[in-house]
Each structure stands twice: as C-alpha cells, then as structure tokens.
C-alpha cells in the first residue's frame, strides 16, 4: 500500500507565551464585523460579479447589518474602480456604513485607491504588504528592513493623501500579509513602525489586521499569537486588532472565535465562507454561533433563505446542503431516534416556562433564521416510527397513537427499502390511507349500518344499550345482524363475532378530529386481537365518529390477512 510522505512537512512553531488568559475568557459581546464578500470573496469567483451584481450584494450586506464592508480593490481593474465610484456618486452608502478598499503598499495603487473613495463620507484604506519569511526570501528577495520600509513608506503616503483630501472620515488599516508565516517579533516591529508613521493614538487608532492568510496551525496556536501581540504592542489603545482567517485547515471559524477570546476586536470574513482556496471565515456560522449562546451578534440572519438566494444569484456559488445553519438539510432528521426526539422536543418546548430553546438535535430554532418546521423531519429507510408519525401529524393532522406507530413505520420502511428513495409527506399520507383506511380489495366491507340508543333496554351495568343493525360482506357473502352493546363499537364487535365465527376483541382504541368546523371529519384507530392470538391495527375516517370506529375495526380485520 502506498504511504503518504508526512516527513516532508514540519510542525508549526509554538508561541513563547506563559500564563495565557484566553482559555478562561468568554465571548460576551459581538466584535466589529467587516464583510469582504465584495473583494476577497469576489476575486475567488470563477466568474467575478458584475457591477450590478456587486450593487445587489452590497445592498444585501447593508440589510444584514454590516457597518464595515470591503467593497473592492479599485486599483486592480476598471470594473472595481467603477463599482466604488458608483457607490459614492449614487449615494448608495448609508451614513452609518463605512466602505473599505484594499491596496498593496505601492504608490500608484494607493493614489488610485484614494481617487476611488473621493467624496465618501466614511472610508477605510486597507494597505498590505507581505512580511512572511517565505515571501521575503522567495518572492520579493528583500531583507526585513526593506520589507518594513515598504510598509512605512506606504503608510506615510496614505497619511499624506488623507490630509490632502480634508476628509476626517478616512481611516487606515494595515495588514502584515501572511502574518501566520511571519516571525512574531518581526510582525510586531513592522506594526509599531506603521503605527508611528500613521501617528496612531487613542483618538486616531490604526486597524492592525493580523491575517491567517494561509491557515497553518491549530486555532489555539493562532490565539496564542494574538494574545502575545496584544500583550506586547506599545500602545494597545491606539490599535484596533482585526483578524482575517482563511479556512485551509477547515477551522477558520474556530480560529476567529479563539482570536476574540485572545483580545481581537474585529473580524473580517464572508457570507458562507466564500473566498480563495478553502474560503474565508464564515460570517453566517460565526454570527449564529454567538446568537445560540445568547449573544447579540448585531447581524440579522432572520431570513437565511433570502440571503442564500441573493448570494447564489450574485456569486453563482451554491451553499452546501450540510452548511451550518443555512444548508437545505441542517434542520432535517433521517434517523428514527433523532426524529422521535425532535418530535417530542417540539411538543414539550416552552413547558419549562423560561422561554429557552431546548429541542434535542436542533441547536437553533429554525424559525429564527426563516426556515420552516415542515422540513425538519424527512423520511427514508433509516427513519423510525416517531419521525413518520411526526410528518403525518404536522402535515395532515393525523395523530397515530404510539401502539399503532410500529405497524405503520414498518410499511414506510418497506416502501423506502424497495424504492431506495426519500419519501415525501404526500406519499407517506397516501401509504397510510391505502394501507389502513381505504384498503383497495377488502375481504370484509360494510354495506349498511344504522345505530340507535334505547333507554328502555338496560345493560347489566345499568347503562342504556346501543342498538346496531348492520350488513357486512365477508369474502363475497353477506351477513346481517342486530346487536346491542355499551356503545356502537362494542355492539358491532359482538354482532359480527356471533354471525361470522370470527371472534375478536378491541385491545386498543383512540380517536380525534381532523380539521375544524362543520367540515371536520373524525378518525378512529383500533387494535384488535383474535382468539388465536393474531392482532392487527386499523384506522377509519368518517364524519360520524361511531362509523369511523367501525370502519377502523373492519380495516384491522382486513389487515389480519
């Protein structure tokens, strides 16, 4: 067997930190959120968004509640520049929203970026240059001092152009790109030089974005780097610590969450994790993670289906059916035990009186994100009796009693096994009707039946008797009988047993109404047991509950065969 050569990789270096505090911290407030869907997300698309699509995405992000939105790399292309200008010139930017533009630390690109945001009331110029060992040695072939000089010169120019613009609403963000591949002491050295060049202070803070440009370590090691940085920065109050996590190891959300514990103030990410390679940190997942812990994220994902639809239309990207919170299947249970637990949990929810969500297997109320309860339980060959019963009750008002559920679940599983398909609620309903209510070729069927009550006829219990006169066809032959009992069903069972030589007793019985008002029908469920020990369940539907119970008994008789 071929063996993968793990020896070509080395472990990520540990951070020299003692007495780390982040493991004992809790996230009790939302960070500042910055969406990068229109820049980082857009540049990762096979077909980048058009200006119209970017406008639609921008409006979506605003409606969700993002107050900082990276809208593009305006020096990179005419389309990017035109989009930023359209936002400014058509006054599409709300007063409480700050747009952000990205630029490399190169003079002509910085100048072009300032041209793009001219006239914007609030804007962040996000400048970066790569500082990692690998990039310095292999890509740029420059020393640490030369790389730091690029950052400092770019910062000086940004400060000059801000002063020339006269706009107090322009802020500055700096990213030592590939922070995860940069020596910590050097990353801090460069950021200190940038802060000094900008003139950073508590009144004029710089945003220091410390990106996991390539996810290279466990999330806890990234948290160690953030805590170390926050401890050693020369003036913590003069910097807003931002993180931008990529998902190369599949842990970008955890990386961002732990970074918050370690002292970060601000999170950059994209809807549904869109971005280069394995994507950016997923804003939907992280925000709703906070929401499920009782923390107000400040973002509104109450209509996830709509957000998902706009995202799909603008990006031409799909959302995985198992995507946290937003996938088509995440509020769906196929496992029988899960279905049963969800069904019971939904019925019991709220009974504790504290209003807290407490339904098994559902960490969030689907209704909170605009999803329908109707899709919670779906049926296939792995489904159990609880899930099957839940579907019929939820969609059709049919409340199969527990003692009958195993019989019907067996029929559902048998059909699912034969077809190898998921069964829709409509098909499950038809299966119930065909198998328990309206048997297609019954051997026993009711032809006539009249029911009356006689106060003059007393039973041994002293109750008034119920009188029944019925005509029943059994295997092509008609039998007629008159009988009395303590109710219509009791009288029918006695009379039928005397005339047909099929002695049965009703072992279980349940009934309820289907629907409301004058058009409501009654449904009855019975389980009968024969003298020879055989048993069967049946159901009957009629506008008259007495006739429904008799029809249910006939259904059970037919199912005996």
244 appears as a binding residue in the annotation: yes
DSSP annotation of 515 reads S
What is the CB neighbour count within 10 angstroms for residue 475? 8
Residue 412 CB-density burial (10 A; 0-12 exposed, 13-18 middle, 19+ buried): buried
Contact 532, 560 (CB under 8 A): no
Count other Cβ atoms within 10 Å, centred on residue 187: 22
Closest CA to 37 of 10, 56, 15: 56
Contact yes or no for 49/314 (Cβ under 8 A):
yes
State which H helix or E strand residue 157 sits in: helix 144-165
CA distance 69 to 296: 20
Helices (H), 349-439: 385-396, 405-419, 425-432
Whether the Cβ atoms of residue 177 and residue 213 lie closer than 8 Å to each other: yes
What is the DSSP secondary structure assignment for residue 15, as one 8-state letter?
P
Please check if 417 is assigned to a binding site. Answer: no
Contact 550, 488 (CB under 8 A): yes
Helix (H) or strand (E) holding 42, with range, is helix 42-43
**CA dihedral over 361, 365, 370, 372, signed as positive or negative:** positive
- The two tokens of residue 159 are 């400060």
Rounded CA-CA distance 100/173 in Å is 9
Confirm whether residue 40 is marked as ligand binding.
yes
The answer to whether 333 touches 339, Cβ cutoff 8 Å, is: yes
Binding residue per annotation — 42?
A: no
* Strands 239-244 and 266-269, sheet pairing: parallel
Q: Where are the alpha helices (DSSP H) in 276-370?
A: 283-291, 304-315, 336-348
Measured distance CA(369)–CA(330) in Å, rounded: 12
- C-alpha to C-alpha distances, 297 to 4, 281, 301, 302, 469, nearest whole angstrom: 43, 15, 10, 12, 69
Question: Taking Cα atoms as reference points, which of 141, 267, 289, 290 lies closest to residue 212?
Answer: 267
Query: Which residue ranges are tagged as binding site?
Result: 40, 244, 246, 280
Query: Which residue ranges are tagged as binding site for Mg(2+)?
Result: 40, 244, 246, 280
């Amino acid at each position: 067997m071929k063996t993968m050569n793990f020896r070509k990789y080395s472990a990520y270096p540990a951070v020299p930190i003692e007495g780390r505090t982040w493991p004992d911290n809790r996230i009790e407030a939302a960070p500042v959120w910055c969406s990068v869907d229109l820049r980082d997300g857009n540049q990762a698309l096979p077909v980048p968004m058009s200006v119209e699509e970017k406008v639609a995405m921008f409006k979506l992000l605003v409606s969700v509640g993002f107050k900082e939105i990276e809208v593009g790399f305006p020096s990179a292309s005419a389309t990017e520049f035109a989009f930023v200008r359209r936002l400014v010139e058509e006054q599409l930017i709300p007063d409480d929203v700050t747009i952000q533009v990205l630029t490399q630390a190169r003079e002509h690109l910085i100048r072009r970026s300032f041209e793009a945001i001219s006239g914007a009331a609030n804007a962040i110029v996000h400048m970066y240059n790569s500082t990692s060992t690998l990039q310095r040695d292999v890509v740029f072939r420059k020393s640490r001092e030369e790389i730091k000089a690029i950052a400092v010169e770019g910062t000086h120019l940004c400060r000059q152009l801000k002063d020339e613009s006269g706009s107090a609403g322009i802020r500055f963000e700096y990213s030592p790109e590939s922070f995860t591949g940069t020596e910590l002491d050097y990353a801090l050295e460069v950021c200190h030089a940038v802060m000094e060049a900008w003139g950073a202070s508590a009144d004029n803070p710089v945003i220091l974005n410390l990106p996991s440009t390539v996810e290279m370590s466990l999330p806890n090691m990234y948290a160690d780097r953030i805590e170390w940085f926050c401890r050693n920065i020369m003036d913590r109050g003069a910097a807003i610590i931002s993180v931008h996590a990529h998902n190369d190891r599949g842990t970008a959300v955890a990386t961002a969450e732990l970074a918050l514990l370690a002292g970060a103030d601000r999170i950059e990410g994209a809807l549904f994790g869109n971005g280069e390679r394995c994507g950016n940190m997923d804003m939907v997942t992280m925000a709703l993670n906070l929401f499920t812990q009782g923390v107000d994220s400040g973002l509104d994902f109450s209509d996830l289906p709509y957000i998902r639809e706009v995202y799909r239309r603008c990006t031409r990207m799909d959302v995985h059916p198992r995507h946290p919170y937003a996938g088509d299947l995440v509020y769906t249970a196929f496992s029988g035990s899960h279905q049963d637990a969800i069904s019971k949990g939904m019925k019991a929810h709220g009974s504790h009186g504290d209003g807290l969500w407490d339904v098994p297997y559902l960490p969030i109320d689907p209704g909170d994100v605009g999803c329908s309860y109707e899709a919670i339980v779906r049926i296939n060959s792995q489904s159990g009796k609880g899930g099957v019963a839940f579907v019929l009750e939820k969609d059709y008002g049919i409340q199969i009693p527990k003692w009958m559920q195993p019989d019907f679940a067996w029929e559902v599983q048998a059909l699912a096994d034969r077809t190898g398909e998921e069964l829709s609620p409509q098909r499950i309903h038809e299966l119930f009707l065909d198998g328990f209510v309206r048997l297609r070729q019954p051997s026993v069927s009711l032809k006539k039946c009249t029911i009356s009550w006689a106060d003059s006829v007393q039973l041994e219990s002293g109750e008034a008797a119920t009188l029944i006169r019925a005509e029943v066809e059994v295997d092509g032959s008609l039998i007629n009988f008159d009988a009395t009992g303590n109710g219509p069903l009791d009288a029918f069972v006695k009379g039928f047993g005397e005339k047909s030589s099929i002695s049965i007793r009703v072992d279980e019985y349940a009934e309820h109404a289907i629907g409301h008002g004058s058009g409501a029908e009654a449904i009855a469920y019975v389980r009968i047991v024969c003298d020879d020990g055989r048993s069967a369940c049946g159901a009957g539907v009629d506008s008259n509950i007495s006739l429904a119970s008799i029809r249910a008994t006939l259904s059970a008789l037919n199912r005996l065969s």
